[in-house]
C-alpha cells in the first residue's frame, strides 16, 4: 500500500487575557429609544465574531433582541478603553464588561418601572424586547418602558469596567518565573487522522477532533468557526507554510511561493465543546481564538509517526522531508536486517 | 499611450468611461466605478478575492487589463444582491457562519455562485474543487462548504427557504445560541468598506521607500528630486519626526522610518504623498539614499556569540528577552528517572497571510486632532505611542479601527500608522496607504522561528519527573511582541502537567531578518509542539497509550502551575475524556500501529483527495456513453 493511515493526539493549555499587565476593559450600555440597545466599547471585531457575541450578551442582559443592539466601537476618541483585540481576551474581558454595564442599565430602567408599577424591583423581568412584573398584568414593550423612564427624567444607562486579579511573573535576572499571570486557564486536546503517501511523501489530514474548554460558549457556531480556522492555520504551519529568507531577503514574496492551505487541503474538523464555567467573571466565559491552534501540529506529527514510523521534529513536514525520512528509515531497517 | 474608451455592461448598467491603459479591470471597478466589493488580496491571481464574472465566466480581475473589458458584460459581487435582497447563496453564507473577517468572502461568494451555476447538484467534494482558487485564512473553509451545500439544497427545493432564516430564541435567551452574525450581511454583499476601500475628498496617495539592505548605515538621504516632482505634496524621513521616535509592543526600539541605519530588508526609510499612486511611486524611485553596508547576522544562535554584529546599542548581546522558569531541581529529577529522552525541535517563520494587506488613512480634523483609520488590533496602545512620536497630547490623537480583514496578531504593530500621521500633518490633507502583498510579506512581522532542546525524565509508570526546555527564537530586527511571546512560550512550555522539576529558558534574539511578532498562539505553539511530541515518544518507550500518559500527569483541581500559581477547577481530564470518546479513539501504544487500528476511516473524516481522479472517471463515463 502506497498510502498509509494513522492517528495521533496531543493536549494543550492556554492562559486567557494578557500577561504583561493587569488586564482591563470598559463598556457603556444604554437601553435606547424604541427598545433598542446601544453598547460602546474600545476595540472589537477582527473577524472572530465578537460583535455578535457582545450583541448576544447585551441583548440577554438588557432584555432586547440581538438585532436591535447597536454597537459603537473602535474609536479612541468616542469609546472607553477596552485595550486590544488579541490574546484570546475579547469574550472574557469585553464580554464581561458589557454584561456588567448592561446589568446596570437594566437596573436603572427596572427601578423606574418598579416605582411606576409600585411593585418590588426584584419581581421585574425583561426579555426579547419586553418588560413585565411577576404575577401582575404589567407587561409592556421595552420601547414603551424607555419612553416612560425618560418621562421621569431617567436615561437608562450603565457603565462597567472588568479587570483581572493577576500579576506579572518574576522573570528578571535570577528570577524563577513565579507569579499569577492569568486568571483563567483553558485546556484543549485534539486527535488527527492522516494519510501519508509513501511514494510522494505527501500528508493529507483527513479528520481532526478538537475538544476545548471554552468556559461557556456564547455562540457555539462561532466557537466552531474559531476551532476550524485555528486547526487549518496550524495545519498550514505543520505541513506547508514556510517564510524563507536568503541573507535577510525573502524568497517567498507572494502566494505563488508562500503556500497556504486551500479548500482541498483541509480536514473535516469535528469540534467538541466542553464548558467548565469560569468562576470569577460574570458570565462564566473563557476564550478559544488562540488555544484552538496549539495541539494541532503535535497531533498531526504524532499521527504521521503512527502511519509510517517517522518522526518529524523540524517543521514543516513537507512531502520532501517526509519522503526523505521514510527512505532513511527503510535504509536503516535494511541495514539492520543485513546485519542480523 | 492614449486613454482607452471602455464600453461595458456592469451589473446590468451600461458604462462608458475612459480608462488608463495600465489599469487592470480590478482598478477600473474599484477606483473608477467605486465598486469596492471585490478586493485585492495578492494582485497575482493567487487568492481569488477579486473574482468577478466576465461574460458569465469567473475571472480574476487583478489579472485582466482593463482593455479586455471592452464590450463585455461584467458582474461584481454588488450585482448579486439586486434591489438589496441577498441572493440565496449570500443568505446561506450568513446562516452558516461562513464569513469571519469577510475580506475573502465577496470573491468566495462569486466562486461559489459559479460552482452552483456550473453544477446545481455539485456534491461537497466537487464544491471543494471548484473553490480551490480562492483562499480563506479565517474559517478553515468548513462553514463555507456548509453554506454552499445549504444554498444548493434550498435552490433545488430539498430544503425550504426558511432554512436560511434566524432561529427563534424563546424568552430572550441568547447566550449559548447560534445567533447569526450581525456583521455577515455587510460582508457577503461586499458593502463593508475596509481601509483600502475608503476614500476621502482631496486624499493623497502614499508610497514607501524601503531598505534593500539587511544592515547598513544611512550616510545620506536626498529627497530633493522627489519633492520637485509635479503632484508630490510631501516627502518624509526620520528628520520629520517631532517627538520620541520609537514604537513597539514592549520595547520601543523601532523608529517610524529608519534612523541612522537600516536593520532589515523592507524597513521603511522614507515616504511620499502624491496626487496619485503612480506619481508617488515615481517619487519614491527618485529618492537617493547612500548606504554603507554593515556586517549582518541572520541566525539567532550566531547573533548570541560574542563578536556578532550588534543591532541595537541597548542590547549588546542581541538578546531582546530571556524568560526563566524554575521549579525544583531538574538534574535531581533526571537522576531519579527511569527514562530520559532528549530531542531537538525547530519551527519555521510563517506569515499571517490575512487576505487584507495593511492599509490606512490619516487626516488632521477640524479641531486639530490627528486621526488614523486603520485595521489596528491595538488602537489604545497605538494612540499612546503616536502621541509621543508626534509630540502632541493624547487628546489631539485619535485612532479608529477600520474593519480588520484578518489579523491573527499581525496587525498589532504600528508599522505604518506613524508615517500616515506625519504625512497628514505635513500636507494638511487626508492621506491613504495600501500595501501590496509583496510589501506586506517583506515588511511585517512573522511567527518566531524557533529551535528547542527538550529533555524530559519519566518514571517507568509514566510520571514526568523533570522537564528542561531551552528555546532560542529569531526575533528579527525589532522587538515588537518578542518579549511577550517568550513569556507565554516559557510559562506554558512544559505543558498542562504537574511536574516537580522544571527548568525553562526562552530567548528572543535580534537578527537582521524580517521581525517576528505576535501571531495567534504566541509562543505556546512552539514550545508545546516539543513537549507533546516527546510525550508520545515516551509513551511508546513505556508502553502507554497517549491519552493515558497525559492523564497520569495532567494538572488536577487545585494543582500548582510551573509559575507556582494555584489553579481552581481544571478541565483537562474532562477534555481528554470528551476527546477520546468523541473521536472513537482505540487505545494502544503509539508504536506505529497505523493501518492496524480499527478507529480509522469513520464517517467523520473526509475522503482522501486524488487530484483529477473524479474528472478522469467522469471523462471515462462520458466516453462510454
Residue-wise pLDDT tens digits, B163-177: 999 887 777 799 999
B496 near A CB under 8 A: yes
Domain boundary among B519, B551, B583: B551
- Computed over every residue of chain B, the mean pLDDT equals 96
Report the candidate in B431, B385, B455, B375 with the shortest Cα–Cα distance to residue B407.
B375
- Rounded to the nearest angstrom, the minimum Cα separation between B24 and chain A is 19
Provide the domain limits for residue B42. Answer: 4-79
pLDDT at B625 over 80: no
CA distance A169 to B491: 9
Note the pLDDT of residue B615. 54
Contact B563, A181 (CB under 8 A): yes
pLDDT at B620 over 70: no
| Tens of pLDDT, residues B554-588 | 999 999 999 999 999 999 999 999 999 999 999 99
User: Shortest CB distance from B525 goes to which of A128, A262, A297?
Assistant: A297
What is the domain-level CATH number for residue B342? 3.30.365.10
> Do both B149 and B60 map to the same domain?
no
pLDDT at B613 over 80: no
pLDDT at B19 over 60: yes
Q: What is the average pLDDT across B620-625?
A: 55
Asked if the Cβ–Cβ distance from B348 to A252 is below 8 Å, we say no
Note the pLDDT of residue B172. 79
| Tens of pLDDT, residues B482-507 | 999 999 999 999 999 999 999 999 99
pLDDT at B609 over 90: no
> Do both B73 and B103 map to the same domain?
no
Residue B203 lies in a domain: no
* Three-state DSSP class for residue B321: strand
> Do both B35 and B184 map to the same domain?
no
CB-neighbour burial class of residue B225 (10 A; exposed 0-12, middle 13-18, buried 19+): middle
Q: Are strands B450-458 and B339-347 parallel, antiparallel or unpaired?
A: antiparallel
> Do both B328 and B453 map to the same domain?
yes
Note the pLDDT of residue A340. 78
Contacts of A38 in chain B (CB under 8 A): none
Asked if the Cβ–Cβ distance from B605 to A63 is below 8 Å, we say no
Report the candidate in B396, B357, B254, B354 with the shortest Cα–Cα distance to residue B311.
B254
Which B residues, 232 through 251, put their C-beta within 8 Å of a C-beta on chain A?
250
> Do both B58 and B121 map to the same domain?
no
Q: What is the average pLDDT across B459-471?
A: 98
> Do both B331 and B185 map to the same domain?
no
Residue B312 lies in a domain: yes
What is the domain-level CATH number for residue B22? 3.10.20.30
Q: Would you say how long chain A is, in residues?
A: 340
Asked if the Cβ–Cβ distance from A67 to B182 is below 8 Å, we say yes
B538 near A CB under 8 A: no
Domain boundary among B551, B570, B605: B551
Residues 6+ apart with CB under 8 A from B505: B322, B323, B324, B325, B469, B470, B471, B490
Residue B174 lies in a domain: no
How many CB pairs below 8 Å do chains A and B form together?
490
- Rounded to the nearest angstrom, the minimum Cα separation between A282 and chain B is 13
Residue B264 lies in a domain: no
Instruction: Indicate the number of domains in chain B.
Output: 3
Using a CB cutoff of 8 Å and minimum separation of 24, what contacts does A247-253 make? A247/B214, A247/B296, A247/B298, A248/B214, A248/B215, A248/B264, A248/B265, A248/B296, A248/B298, A248/B512, A248/B513, A248/B514, A249/B214, A249/B265, A250/B265, A250/B266, A250/B441, A250/B442, A250/B514, A252/B351, A252/B441, A253/B438, A253/B441, A253/B442
In angstroms, the first-to-last Cα distance of chain A is 26
> Do both B112 and B188 map to the same domain?
yes
Residue B570 lies in a domain: no
Domain boundary among B79, B107, B131: B79
Which B residues, 48 through 87, put their C-beta within 8 Å of a C-beta on chain A?
none
| Tens of pLDDT, residues B182-207 | 999 999 999 999 999 999 999 999 99
CA distance A38 to B228: 51
Active site residues of A: 290
CA distance B191 to B174: 27
Helix (H) or strand (E) holding B620: helix B613-624
Note the pLDDT of residue B624. 55
CA distance A295 to B583: 15
> Do both B541 and B463 map to the same domain?
yes
User: What residue in A sits closest to B441 (Cα-Cα)?
Assistant: A253
User: Shortest CB distance from B575 goes to which of A19, A187, A220?
Assistant: A187
> Do both B331 and B455 map to the same domain?
yes
| Tens of pLDDT, residues B23-39 | 999 999 999 999 999 99
High-pLDDT (> 90) share of chain B, %: 95
Note the pLDDT of residue B32. 96
Mean pLDDT split into 10-residue runs, chain A, 340 residues: 93 92 95 96 94 97 95 94 95 98 98 98 96 98 98 98 95 94 97 97 98 98 98 98 98 97 97 97 98 98 98 98 98 91
What is the domain-level CATH number for residue B95? 1.10.150.120
Alpha carbon B308 to its chain's center? 32
pTM over 0.80: yes
> Do both B31 and B140 map to the same domain?
no
> Do both B459 and B546 map to the same domain?
yes
Phi/psi of residue A205, each to 5°? -95, 115
Contact B78, B11 (CB under 8 A): yes
> Do both B94 and B62 map to the same domain?
no
User: What residue in B sits closest to A246 (Cα-Cα)?
Assistant: B298
High-pLDDT (> 70) share of chain B, %: 98
User: Shortest CB distance from A229 goes to which of B140, B174, B590?
Assistant: B140
Here the cell at position B291 is 548606504
CA distance B414 to B424: 16
| Tens of pLDDT, residues B509-553 | 999 999 999 999 999 999 999 999 999 999 999 999 999 999 999
Residues 6+ apart with CB under 8 A from A279: B568, B569
Residue B403 lies in a domain: no
Listed in sequence order, the DSSP H helices in B348-398 are 379-389
At residue B82 the predicted structure's pLDDT band, cuts being 50, 70 and 90, is confident
Report the candidate in B258, B344, B311 with the shortest Cα–Cα distance to residue B482.
B311
Amino acid at each position: 500500500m502506497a498510502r498509509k493511515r494513522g492517528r495521533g493526539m496531543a493536549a494543550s493549555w492556554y492562559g486567557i487575557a494578557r500577561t504583561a499587565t493587569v488586564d482591563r476593559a470598559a463598556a457603556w450600555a444604554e437601553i435606547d429609544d424604541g427598545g433598542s440597545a446601544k453598547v460602546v466599547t474600545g476595540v472589537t471585531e477582527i473577524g472572530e465574531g465578537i460583535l455578535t457575541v457582545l450583541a448576544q450578551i447585551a441583548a440577554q442582559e438588557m432584555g432586547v433582541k440581538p438585532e436591535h443592539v447597536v454597537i459603537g466601537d473602535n474609536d479612541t476618541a468616542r469609546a472607553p478603553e477596552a485595550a486590544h483585540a488579541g490574546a484570546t481576551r475579547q469574550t472574557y474581558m469585553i464580554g464581561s464588561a458589557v454584561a456588567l454595564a448592561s446589568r446596570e442599565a437594566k437596573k436603572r430602567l427596572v427601578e423606574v418601572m418598579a416605582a411606576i408599577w409600585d411593585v418590588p424591583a426584584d419581581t421585574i423581568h425583561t426579555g426579547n424586547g419586553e418588560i413585565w412584573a411577576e404575577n401582575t398584568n404589567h407587561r409592556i414593550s421595552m420601547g414603551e418602558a424607555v419612553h416612560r423612564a425618560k418621562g421621569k427624567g431617567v436615561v437608562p444607562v450603565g457603565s462597567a469596567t472588568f479587570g483581572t486579579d493577576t500579576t506579572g511573573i518574576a522573570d528578571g535576572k535570577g528570577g524563577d518565573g513565579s507569579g499569577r499571570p492569568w486568571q483563567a486557564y483553558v485546556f484543549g486536546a485534539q486527535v488527527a487522522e492522516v494519510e501519508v503517501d509513501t511514494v510522494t511523501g505527501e500528508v493529507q489530514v483527513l479528520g481532526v477532533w478538537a475538544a476545548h474548554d471554552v468556559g461557556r460558549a456564547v455562540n457555539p457556531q462561532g466557537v466552531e468557526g474559531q476551532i476550524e480556522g485555528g486547526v487549518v492555520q496550524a495545519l498550514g504551519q505543520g505541513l506547508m507554510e514556510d517564510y524563507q529568507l536568503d541573507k535577510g531577503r525573502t524568497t517567498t514574496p507572494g502566494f505563488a511561493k508562500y503556500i497556504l492551505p486551500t479548500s482541498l487541503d483541509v480536514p473535516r474538523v469535528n469540534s467538541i465543546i466542553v464548558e467548565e464555567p469560569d468562576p470569577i467573571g460574570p458570565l462564566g466565559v473563557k476564550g478559544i481564538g488562540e488555544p484552538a491552534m496549539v495541539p494541532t501540529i503535535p497531533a498531526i506529527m504524532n499521527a504521521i509517526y503512527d502511519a509510517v514510523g517517522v518522526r518529524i521534529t523540524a517543521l514543516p513536514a513537507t512531502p520532501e522531508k517526509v519522503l526523505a525520512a521514510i527512505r532513511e528509515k527503510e535504509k536503516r531497517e535494511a541495514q539492520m536486517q543485513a546485519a542480523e | 499611450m492614449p486613454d482607452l474608451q471602455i464600453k461595458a455592461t456592469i451589473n446590468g448598467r451600461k458604462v462608458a468611461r475612459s480608462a488608463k491603459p495600465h489599469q487592470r479591470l480590478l482598478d477600473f471597478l474599484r477606483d473608477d466605478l467605486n465598486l469596492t466589493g471585490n478586493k485585492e488580496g495578492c494582485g497575482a491571481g493567487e487568492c481569488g478575492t477579486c473574482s468577478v464574472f466576465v461574460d458569465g465566466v469567473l475571472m480574476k480581475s487583478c489579472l485582466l487589463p482593463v482593455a479586455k473589458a471592452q464590450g463585455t458584460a461584467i458582474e461584481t459581487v454588488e450585482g448579486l444582491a439586486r434591489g438589496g435582497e441577498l441572493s440565496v447563496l449570500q443568505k446561506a453564507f450568513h446562516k452558516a457562519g461562513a464569513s469571519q473577517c469577510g475580506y475573502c468572502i465577496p470573491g468566495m461568494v462569486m466562486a461559489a455562485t459559479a460552482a452552483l451555476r456550473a453544477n446545481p447538484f455539485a456534491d461537497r467534494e466537487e464544491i471543494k474543487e471548484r473553490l480551490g482558487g480562492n483562499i480563506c485564512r479565517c474559517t478553515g473553509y468548513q462553514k463555507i462548504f456548509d453554506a454552499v451545500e445549504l444554498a444548493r439544497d434550498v435552490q433545488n427545493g430539498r430544503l425550504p427557504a426558511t432554512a436560511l432564516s434566524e432561529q427563534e430564541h424563546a424568552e430572550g435567551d441568547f447566550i449559548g445560541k447560534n445567533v447569526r452574525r450581525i456583521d455577515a450581511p455587510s460582508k457577503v454583499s461586499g458593502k463593508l468598506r475596509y481601509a483600502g476601500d475608503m476614500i476621502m475628498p482631496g486624499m493623497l496617495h502614499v508610497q514607501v521607500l524601503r531598505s534593500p539592505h539587511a544592515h547598513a548605515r544611512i550616510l545620506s538621504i536626498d529627497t530633493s528630486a522627489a519633492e520637485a516632482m509635479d503632484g508630490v505634496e510631501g516627502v518624509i524621513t526620520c528628520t520629520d519626526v517631532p517627538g520620541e521616535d520609537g514604537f513597539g509592543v514592549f520595547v520601543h526600539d523601532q523608529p517610524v522610518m529608519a534612523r541612522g541605519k537600516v536593520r532589515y530588508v523592507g524597513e521603511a526609510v522614507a515616504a511620499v504623498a502624491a496626487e496619485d499612486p503612480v506619481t508617488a511611486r515615481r517619487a519614491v524611485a527618485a529618492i537617493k539614499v547612500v548606504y554603507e553596508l554593515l556586517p549582518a547576522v541572520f541566525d539567532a544562535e550566531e547573533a548570541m556569540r560574542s563578536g556578532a554584529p550588534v543591532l541595537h546599542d541597548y542590547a549588546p548581546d542581541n538578546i531582546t528577552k530571556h524568560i526563566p522558569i524554575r521549579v525544583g531541581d531538574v538534574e535531581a529529577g533526571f537522576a531519579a528517572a527511569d527514562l530520559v529522552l532528549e530531542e531537538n525541535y525547530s519551527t519555521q517563520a510563517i506569515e499571517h497571510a490575512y487576505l487584507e494587506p495593511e492599509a490606512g488613512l490619516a487626516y488632521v480634523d477640524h479641531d486639530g486632532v490627528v486621526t488614523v483609520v486603520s485595521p489596528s488590533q491595538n488602537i489604545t496602545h497605538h494612540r499612546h505611542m503616536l502621541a509621543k512620536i508626534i509630540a502632541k497630547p493624547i487628546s489631539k490623537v485619535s485612532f479608529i479601527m477600520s474593519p480588520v480583514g484578518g489579523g491573527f496578531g499581525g496587525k498589532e504593530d504600528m508599522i505604518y500608522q506613524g508615517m500616515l500621521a506625519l504625512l497628514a500633518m505635513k500636507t494638511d490633507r487626508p492621506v491613504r496607504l495600501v500595501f501590496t502583498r509583496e510589501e506586506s510579506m517583506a515588511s511585517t512581522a512573522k511567527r518566531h522561528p524557533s529551535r528547542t532542546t527538550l529533555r524530559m525524565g519519566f518514571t517507568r509508570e509514566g510520571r514526568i519527573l523533570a522537564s528542561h526546555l531551552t528555546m532560542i527564537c529569531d526575533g528579527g530586527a525589532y522587538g515588537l511582541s518578542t518579549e511577550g511571546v517568550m513569556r507565554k512560550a516559557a510559562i506554558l512550555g512544559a505543558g498542562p502537567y504537574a511536574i516537580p522539576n522544571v527548568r525553562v529558558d526562552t530567548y528572543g534574539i535580534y537578527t537582521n531578518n524580517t521581525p517576528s511578532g505576535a501571531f495567534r498562539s504566541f509562543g505556546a505553539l512552539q514550545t508545546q509542539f516539543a513537549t507533546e511530541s516527546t510525550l508520545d515518544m515516551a509513551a511508546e518507550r513505556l508502553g502507554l497509550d497517549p491519552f493515558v500518559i497525559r492523564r497520569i500527569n495532567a494538572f488536577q483541581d487545585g494543582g500548582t502551575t510551573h509559575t507556582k500559581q494555584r489553579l481552581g477547577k481544571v478541565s483537562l481530564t474532562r477534555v481528554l475524556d470528551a476527546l477520546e470518546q468523541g473521536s472513537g479513539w482505540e487505545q494502544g501504544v503509539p508504536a506505529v500501529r497505523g493501518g492496524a487500528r480499527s478507529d480509522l476511516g469513520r464517517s467523520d473524516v473526509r475522503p482522501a483527495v486524488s487530484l483529477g481522479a473524479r474528472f478522469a472517471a467522469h471523462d471515462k463515463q462520458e466516453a462510454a456513453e
